[in-house]
Amino acid sequence: MTKPVRLALLGCGTVGSEVVRLLHEQAADLTARIGAPLEIAGIAVRRQGRNRGDLPVDPAVFTTDALGLVKRDDVDVVVEMVGGIEPARTWLVEALRAGKSVVTANKALLAEDGGSLHDAAAESGADLYYEASVAGAIPLLRPLRESLQGDKITRVTGIVNGTTNFILSAMDATGAGFAEALDEATELGYAEADPTADVEGFDAAAKAAILASLAFHTRVSAADVYREGITEVTAADVASANAMGCTIKLLCIASRGPDSTGAESIGVRVYPAMIPRSHPLASVGDAFNAVFVEAVSAGQLMFYGRGAGGAPTASAVLGDVVAVSRNRLAGVRTPSESAYAALPIRPMGEAVTRYHISLDVADRAGVLATVAGVFARHEVSIATVRQASASTGGNTGSTATVGRGGDAILVIVTHAAPDAALAATVEELRGLDIVRSIASVLRVEGGV
């Protein structure tokens, strides 16, 4: 019998406990697929005495000394399912420097300081795999890292946060406001007690950084990602999107192309945007994730599935455990990154996008011409203008209706323009006395 591959599991919560369960239930198949059995050398947790139900593992394997476990000579593979920057970074750098293979689900660490891990892996020739860190169960990083290496990826557009997708889908289906939809997500277990990382877009930004790094062979960190969350999205925005045949999604977008000087660069951003209902990402509902990849030769590819949850995430973790174990047995490693392109990051102001702007204006002669003049001054071309009822927030029709105090709502959709020009246009509109308020500003993606 071939010598077992010995695993140090760090963390035994939502993901870790499912990994333990699957290691037990699928032991025979995993052994056959790898060519050696997998053995749990130890499991590091925070609370040793915590009741872990009927987990099929010897209680003696639990320890609170994660670093001690990582350093043990009888450990071949370290599987990190704790999260956060420290002490996870110290554990993983230690493991990689010692030549141990690492599998991690930790998007926050990879996005903040993936460079430290990649460098440590490259120096010692150890494997570093992290499929579960983006879009849970969906095989996505392996296709970017391996299958598409013969192609040139131009754009990655994704729905990579299940909580916000659940909230926006609920708002779209029921007309609920953000707070009401968040409450529902919390009740159903889709949102955490503190939902900040999800609703403010931090989680999606971390994933965007990981995707952009792999897609464009460039080190991208979370700090390079332009980010807006969904807390400002209103029921009126959703209704307005509906009126245009669109829905609103929190998108992560990573694209390559020329910057203002013509040099090749990449832009990485996360924000809520309107997309047409005909776009493949529009039908991704509930807490599902999907990522749309565009490549020069392959064309358009779509990856879809469960982006979170214990069992789906454990599936991705175990796939990585099998891969690194096979590599150990074969005495090889898969390079974890190629950052040779080192492309510069394009500032958000240079991102070419479209805006949907809803203005509450005085309903009198000359207003439209004044508003149009502001757009023209910033070289932003208007695609459509719709005037609607002020009393309904601008979402019920196309005929001019005078609202309270002689107001009207103008709904303007622009053609593509640099984000800086669009932002400057909105700023100038805000200062006009004929503009009572700007009800909503949303970007439009996907060719409406």
Ligand X SMILES: NC(=O)c1ccc[n+]([C@@H]2O[C@H](COP(=O)([O-])OP(=O)(O)OC[C@H]3O[C@@H](n4cnc5c(N)ncnc54)[C@H](OP(=O)(O)O)[C@@H]3O)[C@@H](O)[C@H]2O)c1
Indicate whether 136 belongs to the interface with ligand X (CB under 6 A): yes
Q: At closest approach, how far in Å is the CB of 71 from ligand X?
A: 14
Site string for ligand X, 38-67 (x = CB under 6 A): ------xxxx--x---------------x-
- The CB density around residue 234, as the number of other CB atoms within 10 Å, is 17
- Residue number with CB closer to ligand X (13 or 280): 13
Tokens, residue 370 = 């004044």
Q: At closest approach, how far in Å is the CB of 193 from ligand X?
A: 12
Considering only 41, 250, 308, 348, the residue that binds ligand X (CB under 6 A) is: 308
Question: How many residues bind ligand X, per CB under 6 A?
Answer: 24
- The 8-class DSSP code of residue 145 comes to I
Examine residue 87 and say whether the peptide bond preceding it is cis (omega within 30 degrees of 0).
Answer: yes
Considering only 16, 393, 394, 403, the residue that binds ligand X (CB under 6 A) is: 16
Q: How many CA atoms lie within 13 A of 245 on its CB side?
A: 7
The CA distances from residue 336 to 124, 211, 297, in Å, are 12, 13, 23
Which residue stretch of 112-120, 265-273, 305-313, 393-401 sits at the interface with ligand X (rule: CB under 6 A)? 305-313
Indicate whether 82 belongs to the interface with ligand X (CB under 6 A): yes
Considering only 5, 7, 9, 11, the residue that binds ligand X (CB under 6 A) is: 11
- Residue number with CB closer to ligand X (203 or 445): 203
- Residue number with CB closer to ligand X (45 or 93): 45
Site string for ligand X, 89-118 (x = CB under 6 A): ----------------xxx-----------
Which residue stretch of 9-17, 184-192, 244-252, 320-328 sits at the interface with ligand X (rule: CB under 6 A)? 9-17
Indicate whether 79 belongs to the interface with ligand X (CB under 6 A): no
Ranges assigned E (strand) in 296-371? 299-306, 352-362
The SS3 of residue 220 is: coil
Indicate whether 15 belongs to the interface with ligand X (CB under 6 A): yes
In angstroms and rounded to an integer, the radius of gyration of the C-alpha atoms of the chain is 25
Q: Exposed, middle or buried by CB within 10 Å (0-12, 13-18, 19+), for 399?
A: exposed
Q: Do the Cβ atoms of 162 and 194 come closer than 8 Å? A: no
Torsion angle, alpha carbons of 138, 144, 147, 152, to 10: 140
- Residue number with CB closer to ligand X (145 or 386): 145
Indicate whether 315 belongs to the interface with ligand X (CB under 6 A): no
Which residue stretch of 5-13, 261-269, 338-346, 378-386 sits at the interface with ligand X (rule: CB under 6 A)? 5-13
Considering only 272, 305, 309, 403, the residue that binds ligand X (CB under 6 A) is: 309
Phi/psi for 444 (5° steps) reads -120, 130
Q: At closest approach, how far in Å is the CB of 207 from ligand X?
A: 9
- CA neighbor of 208 nearest in space, from 247, 162, 161: 161
- Residue number with CB closer to ligand X (66 or 211): 66
Alpha-carbon dihedral sign for residues 386, 391, 395, 400: negative
- Residue number with CB closer to ligand X (88 or 444): 88
Q: At closest approach, how far in Å is the CB of 65 from ligand X?
A: 9
Q: At closest approach, how far in Å is the CB of 311 from ligand X?
A: 9
Considering only 23, 30, 36, 132, the residue that binds ligand X (CB under 6 A) is: 132
Helix, strand, coil distribution of the chain in percent, nearest 5: 40, 25, 35
Q: Exposed, middle or buried by CB within 10 Å (0-12, 13-18, 19+), for 326?
A: middle
| Strand duo 299-306 + 288-295: pairing | antiparallel
- Residue number with CB closer to ligand X (20 or 390): 20
Could you confirm whether 249 is annotated as catalytic? no
Q: At closest approach, how far in Å is the CB of 92 from ligand X?
A: 11
DSSP string, 301-314: EEEEEE--SHHHHH
Considering only 5, 8, 9, 12, the residue that binds ligand X (CB under 6 A) is: 12
Q: Do the Cβ atoms of 8 and 65 come closer than 8 Å? A: no
Which is the catalytic residue, given 3, 71, 152, 207?
A: 207
Q: At closest approach, how far in Å is the CB of 188 from ligand X?
A: 14
Q: At closest approach, how far in Å is the CB of 153 from ligand X?
A: 23
Amino acid at 432: L
Q: Do the Cβ atoms of 207 and 107 come closer than 8 Å? A: yes
Q: Do the Cβ atoms of 121 and 97 come closer than 8 Å? A: no
Query: Would you tell me which residues interact with ligand X (CB under 6 A)?
Result: 11-16, 44-47, 50, 66, 81-83, 87, 105-107, 132, 136, 308-309, 313
- Active site amino acids: 207
